[in-house]
C-alpha cells in the first residue's frame, strides 16, 4: 500500500512515457536551460523529431498561448542548432483546465487509460503494450530509473567510441604515398613543375585520359605540383581524413576517397580541357562532403560545427577557386558531390536506413554516369 502512495498518478504517467520514448524509440533528452516542469526529447530520424512532456498545470487558453509562444522561440533555436528546416513537435500535457483548447499536435493524458484513446496510440501503436509493466510502485520506479540510466550509459559509450580519436592508419598511408611520389618526381624526373614528369607520374590530361589511360583519373590525386601544394593538401587530409576514417571506418573511408577522387577528375575533364591537373583536393572535398553528410545525422551533436566550421570552409575554398587562376574548381565540386553521394550509399552506422542506402547507390550511379558523359562525350 505504501508503494502505491509514494508515486502519484501524474508522475507515474510521465515516468512511463519517458521510459518508453528513451528506451524503445531511441529518443534522447534535451537540456533546455530555464525551463521547469517539462521533459524534452529528440530523435531527428523519427516522424516527431521532438517530444515535449509538460507536467505543470495549464489553467486557461491564455496560459496555453503563452506556452506556445515560448515553445516557438525554443524550436527556432533548435532548428538553427540542428540545421533543420522544420521540426515536428508532439506536446503531451498531463495537467490542463477544462476549457483549454489544444491543437492537433497537442495531446492531453492525465491517466494511463487515456493513452489507447489518444492520438499518441495512433502515432506509436505499440505504446500501450510497452508501458504495461508488471512491476508496481517503488519496483517500477527502480526499473524505469535503471533502464533509463543503462540506456544513457550505452548511448554515451557508443558516442564516446564514435567520437574518440583513433590512429588514422589509412590517412597516414595516403600521406606517405603522396610524399614518396613527390620525391620520386625529382629522383626519376625533372621535378613536380615539369609537365612531362607530371604526365609520366599519372597527371590528368583530357587527350590522354580519353584515349584509354583511365588510370589517370585516380593516379592524379596522389600527385602534387610543388611543395606548397603538397603541404596544404596533406594538412587538410590529415585533419579531415582522420575524422572520416574514425567515423566511417577504414574500408568505407578508402571507398569514399577513391570515388571522390575519380568524380573530381571526371568533372575536371569536362571543364578543364587541355589542362594538366593533379592533386588530392578533389578527394579532400569529397571527404568534406562526407563529413557534411555524417554531420547531418549527428547534427544534434555537430550542428554548430557544421554551421561555423565545415560549411564556411567549403564555401570559402570554392569561392577562392572561382576567383583565382590555376585552381581546378571543377575537381573540387565533382569530388564534393561524389563524397556526399558515396557516403549516402555506404550509410552512417546505426543511423542510415536501408532504403536511404539503396537510394544513395542509385543516385551515385546516375551521378557517375552523368559526369562520365560530360567528361568523355560532351
Report the percentage of the chain scoring pLDDT > 70.
Answer: 97
Q: What is the mean pLDDT of residues 31-46?
A: 85
Both 93 and 179 in one domain: the answer is no
User: Cα dihedral sign for 188, 190, 191, 194?
Assistant: negative
135 vs 259, higher pLDDT? 259
Both 171 and 157 in one domain: the answer is no
pLDDT at 44 over 80: yes
Domain end residue (candidates: 104, 132, 162): 162
Both 339 and 291 in one domain: the answer is yes
**Residue 332 annotated in active site:** yes
Catalytic residue among 281, 290, 343, 352: 281
pLDDT at 8 over 80: no
pLDDT at 244: 94
Specify the CATH number for the domain of residue 262: 1.20.1540.10
- The answer to whether the CB of 286 falls within 8 A of the CB of 264 is yes
Both 58 and 142 in one domain: the answer is yes
Domain end residue (candidates: 162, 193, 218): 162
Q: How confident is the model at residue 344 (pLDDT cuts 50, 70, 90)?
A: very high
Catalytic residue among 221, 229, 332, 352: 332
pLDDT at 84: 82
Both 146 and 218 in one domain: the answer is no
pLDDT at 303: 66
306 vs 270, higher pLDDT? 270
pLDDT at 1: 41
pLDDT at 2: 41
Lowest mean pLDDT among 155-164, 285-294, 329-338: 155-164
- The answer to whether the CB of 343 falls within 8 A of the CB of 256 is yes
pLDDT at 85: 82
Q: For the chain, what percentages of helix, strand and coil (3-state, to nearest 5) are there?
A: 65, 5, 30
- Residue 92's SS3 state is strand
The angle formed by the CA atoms of residues 89, 51 and 62, to the nearest 5 degrees, is: 65
Q: Which three cell numbers stand for residue 270?
A: 569536362
Both 174 and 201 in one domain: the answer is yes
pLDDT at 173: 97
Both 137 and 214 in one domain: the answer is no
> Which pLDDT tens digit goes with each residue over 136-177?
878 888 888 898 888 888 888 887 777 778 899 999 999 999
pLDDT at 206 over 70: yes
**pTM of the predicted model, to two decimals?**
0.81
Both 187 and 285 in one domain: the answer is yes
Q: Which three cell numbers stand for residue 307?
A: 554551421
32 vs 192, higher pLDDT? 192
Which of 112, 107, 101 has its CA nearest to residue 89?
107
Q: How confident is the model at residue 131 (pLDDT cuts 50, 70, 90)?
A: confident
221: which DSSP letter? Answer: G
> Which pLDDT tens digit goes with each residue over 209-266?
999 999 999 999 999 999 999 999 999 999 999 999 999 999 999 999 999 999 999 9
The residue whose grid cell reads 596533406 is: 234
β 106-108/28-30 pair status:
unpaired
Range of the domain at 253: 166-377
Both 154 and 200 in one domain: the answer is no
pLDDT at 7: 58
Which of 210, 180, 226, 191 has its CA nearest to residue 326?
226
Q: What is the mean pLDDT of residues 318-346?
A: 89
Both 141 and 179 in one domain: the answer is no
> Which pLDDT tens digit goes with each residue over 69-109?
999 999 998 888 887 888 899 999 988 888 888 887 788 88
pLDDT at 6 over 70: no
Both 216 and 308 in one domain: the answer is yes
pLDDT at 178 over 90: yes
**Residue 281 annotated in active site:** yes
Q: List Cβ neighbours of 321 (8 Å cut-off, separation of 6 or more).
A: 327, 328, 329, 332
Domain end residue (candidates: 108, 138, 162): 162
Both 200 and 258 in one domain: the answer is yes
Lowest mean pLDDT among 91-105, 194-208, 349-363: 91-105
> Domain tally for the chain?
2
Amino acid at each position: 500500500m505504501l508503494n502505491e502512495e509514494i508515486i502519484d498518478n501524474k508522475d507515474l504517467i510521465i515516468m512511463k512515457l519517458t521510459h518508453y520514448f528513451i528506451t524503445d524509440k531511441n529518443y534522447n533528452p534535451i537540456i533546455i536551460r530555464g525551463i521547469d516542469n517539462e521533459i524534452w526529447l529528440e530523435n531527428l530520424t523519427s516522424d516527431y523529431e521532438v517530444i515535449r512532456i509538460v507536467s505543470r498545470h495549464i489553467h486557461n487558453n491564455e496560459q496555453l498561448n503563452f506556452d506556445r509562444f515560448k515553445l516557438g522561440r525554443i524550436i527556432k533555436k533548435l532548428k538553427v542548432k540542428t540545421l533543420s528546416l522544420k521540426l515536428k513537435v508532439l506536446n503531451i500535457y498531463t495537467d490542463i483546465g477544462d476549457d483549454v483548447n489544444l491543437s492537433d499536435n497537442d495531446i492531453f493524458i492525465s491517466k494511463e487509460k487515456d493513452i489507447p484513446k489518444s492520438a499518441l496510440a495512433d502515432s506509436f501503436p505499440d505504446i500501450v503494450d510497452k508501458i504495461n509493466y508488471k512491476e508496481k510502485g517503488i519496483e517500477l520506479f527502480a526499473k524505469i530509473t535503471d533502464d533509463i540510466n543503462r540506456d544513457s550509459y550505452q548511448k554515451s559509450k557508443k558516442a564516446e567510441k564514435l567520437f574518440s580519436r583513433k590512429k588514422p592508419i589509412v590517412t597516414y598511408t595516403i600521406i606517405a604515398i603522396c610524399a614518396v611520389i613527390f620525391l620520386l618526381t625529382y629522383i626519376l624526373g625533372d621535378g613536380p613543375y615539369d609537365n612531362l614528369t607530371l604526365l609520366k607520374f599519372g597527371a590528368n590530361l583530357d587527350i590522354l585520359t580519353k584515349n584509354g589511360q583511365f588510370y589517370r583519373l585516380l593516379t592524379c590525386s596522389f600527385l602534387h605540383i610543388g611543395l606548397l601544394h603538397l603541404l596544404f593538401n596533406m594538412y587538410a587530409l590529415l585533419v579531415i581524413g582522420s575524422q572520416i576514417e574514425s567515423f566511417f571506418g577504414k574500408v568505407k573511408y578508402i571507398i569514399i576517397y577513391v570515388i571522390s577522387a575519380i568524380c573530381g577528375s571526371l568533372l575536371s575533364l569536362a571543364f578543364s580541357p587541355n589542362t594538366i591537373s593533379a592533386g588530392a583536393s578533389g578527394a579532400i572535398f569529397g571527404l568534406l562532403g562526407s563529413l557534411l553528410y555524417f554531420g547531418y545525422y549527428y547534427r544534434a551533436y555537430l550542428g554548430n560545427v557544421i554551421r561555423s566550421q565545415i560549411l564556411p570552409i567549403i564555401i570559402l575554398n570554392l569561392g577562392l577557386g572561382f576567383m583565382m587562376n590555376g585552381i581546378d574548381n571543377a575537381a573540387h565540386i565533382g569530388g564534393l558531390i561524389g563524397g556526399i553521394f558515396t557516403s549516402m550509399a555506404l550509410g552512417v552506422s546505426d543511423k542510415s536506413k536501408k532504403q536511404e542506402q539503396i537510394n544513395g547507390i542509385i543516385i551515385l550511379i546516375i551521378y557517375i554516369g552523368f559526369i562520365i558523359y560530360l567528361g568523355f562525350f560532351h
